[in-house]
Amino acid sequence: MCSLEKRGSLFVLTLTGDGQHRLNPTLLDGISAALCSVKSEASGGPSALITTAQGNFFSNGYDIAWAKSGGPAAATNDRLLLMSSKFRSIIGELISLPMPTIAAVTGHATAAGFIFALCHDYILMRKDKGFLYMSELEISLPVPAYVIAVLRSKIGSPAARRDVMMRAAKLTAEAAVDRGIIQSAHDSAEETVVAAVKFGEELVRRKWDGHVYGQIRMVMLADVLSTLSYDDILEDPGQLEKLESRL
Amino acid sequence: MCSLEKRGSLFVLTLTGDDQHRLNPTLLDAISAALHRVRSEASGASTALITTAYGKFFSNGYDLAWGKSGGPAAATKDRLILMSSKFRSVIRELISLPMPTIAAVTGHASAGGFIFALCHDYILMRKDKGFLYMSELDISLPVPAWFITVLEAKIGSPAARRDVMLRAAKLTAEAAVDRGIIQSAHDSAEETVVAALTLGEKLVSKKWDGQVYGQIRMVMLADLLSTVSSDETGEDPVHVNVVVSRL
């Protein structure tokens, strides 16, 4: 589901296969294990993480189909909460990771998949295909506070946040560069990864202390960190009923 | 170390001498005393403060050399706490000052020096020389949360804040204008001061009530006022030991 390789000083985490890389517990556990590996191997010297994906999708968000296929409503709730909990844990890992992080977005990044990309320090994306898209409004799903916290910490313009969250805009890479959401747009998936690797190497040459880097990032994203211990939609009985009727 | 003069309706605070204008207790006390005088001499008439400096540096931040030269680690800790406390006091003064404040940045402004400039309402800077630069990452020094709050209050773009804090970008005046960090860039140090005086006079001609001006600024920067009351890198043993070990 995901692979981790070392290229020189860089770690490359790839969501493998041609699927939608839905964030189900299996993939989330795979990502979590990879991040753990990265952290423990990082003490060797300056490093950076590049996250990318094979196929047409970067990630299409939570595995709602898997959540629904557990049987009764209570089981759906448990499955959604499991995915939310594991994902929030990964966000925490990414925010504390003792090295720069770069998302090389090589396909669609939707809902939690878009949030996953946003939780990296830099986003590079292909311009020939693929959208960044918060789909929740169009599938009538309420949005938890931790998602909004990530958006606010990464998208500065209130109008851009409104377009993303309240207009369900489908943003191409170039539109995302214009709105200050991503760093740069590249001609193809391969070009995006090449650019991400090159940029990663540039950052590694600065020889920053990874722990100081991680500490600074944690202070900058303190508002996000404070939302990660709780999912206010799935853990609130009132919201939960409405959610289940929507799925 | 610093001089205060009146030019027409304007107060001009100058960090004197050709050195780096490091924020040690002596300079911080002098700045504090100058701000007190400004406040008492302002007495109701419409006025503004311009802060500038001689030489190649606006300010290169805390006097870390002085911090280290006290002897054992405990003494270093005390010196760092002292500088932080006095600096935060200066910042509170600036934020409550009952008049517009303009930083005429005539040289490098690094770390605490950059923060000092940012705590003015307007920044004008020379474009021919000099950088704005948060150096902490490059020298592996932890950053206190209140520095991040200043950045959040004054730099709206998350990408620009990341470039400043997590990429240790060295920004020329023109790059800073592009990112919305400063007001304008000028051909030389002299031009910058002339432009600051012109802006000061324009603001004074509006005949605003200084107390109301100061109150509005305090409300706008309320988040900053609440975090500037503490510095965990000086007060929290875990952080302090890291800082001391890095000097």
Say which residue, B63 or A140, is predicted with more confidence. Answer: B63
Pairing of strands B122-126, B101-105: parallel
Q: CB distance B137–A220 less than 8 Å?
A: no
If you average pLDDT over residues B170-196, what whole number do you get? 97
Q: CB distance A216–B158 less than 8 Å?
A: no
Residue B161 to residue A223: CA distance in whole angstroms:
15
pLDDT digits over B186-236, tens only? 999 999 999 999 999 999 999 999 999 999 999 999 999 999 988 877 666
Residue A109 to residue A104: CA distance in whole angstroms:
11
Q: Quick check: B157 contacting A, CB < 8 Å?
A: yes
Least reliable range by pLDDT among A164-173, B12-21, B69-78, B173-182: B69-78
How many CB atoms lie under 10 A from the CB of residue B144? 25
Angstroms from B130 CA to nearest CA on chain A: 21
B136: pLDDT confidence band, cut at 50, 70 and 90? very high
Contact A62, A22 (CB under 8 A): yes
This model of the complex carries an ipTM of: 0.92
How many interchain CB pairs under 8 A, A with B?
A: 51
Residues lower than pLDDT 70 in chain A: none
Q: Which residues pair with A170 in a beta bridge?
A: A133
Q: Give the H/E segment covering residue A143.
A: none
Provide the residue type at B214 as one letter.
G
Nearest chain B residue to A214, by CA? B166
Least reliable range by pLDDT among A67-81, A164-178, B90-104, B166-180: A67-81
Contact B192, B186 (CB under 8 A): yes
Residue A142 is predicted with a pLDDT of: 86
Residue A141 is predicted with a pLDDT of: 85
pLDDT digits over B156-165, tens only? 999 999 999 9
Q: Give the H/E segment covering residue B123.
A: strand B122-126
Pairing of strands A57-59, A108-110: parallel
If you average pLDDT over residues B65-79, what whole number do you get? 87
Q: Tell me: pLDDT of B237 over 70.
A: no
Nearest C-alpha neighbor of A150 from the set A110, A115, A112: A115
Q: Strand, helix or coil at A173?
A: helix
Q: Quick check: B156 contacting A, CB < 8 Å?
A: yes
Top residue of B155, B163, B167 to mutate, by most chain A CBs within 10 Å, is: B167
Residue B238 is predicted with a pLDDT of: 64
Q: CB distance A100–B140 less than 8 Å?
A: no
Percent of chain B with pLDDT over 70: 98
In the numeric block, which tokens belong to residue A184?
């740069």
In the numeric block, which tokens belong to residue B182?
């400063």
Nearest chain B residue to A100, by CA? B166
If you average pLDDT over residues B56-82, what whole number do you get? 91
Residue A77 is predicted with a pLDDT of: 87
Angstroms from A179 CA to nearest CA on chain B: 10
Top residue of A209, A213, A216, A221 to mutate, by most chain B CBs within 10 Å, is: A216
Average model confidence (pLDDT) across chain B: 94
Angstroms from B156 CA to nearest CA on chain A: 6
DSSP string, B166-206: TS--EE-HHHHHHTTSSSEEESSHHHHHHHHHHHHHHHHTT
Contact B66, B1 (CB under 8 A): no
Residue B120 to residue B35: CA distance in whole angstroms:
13
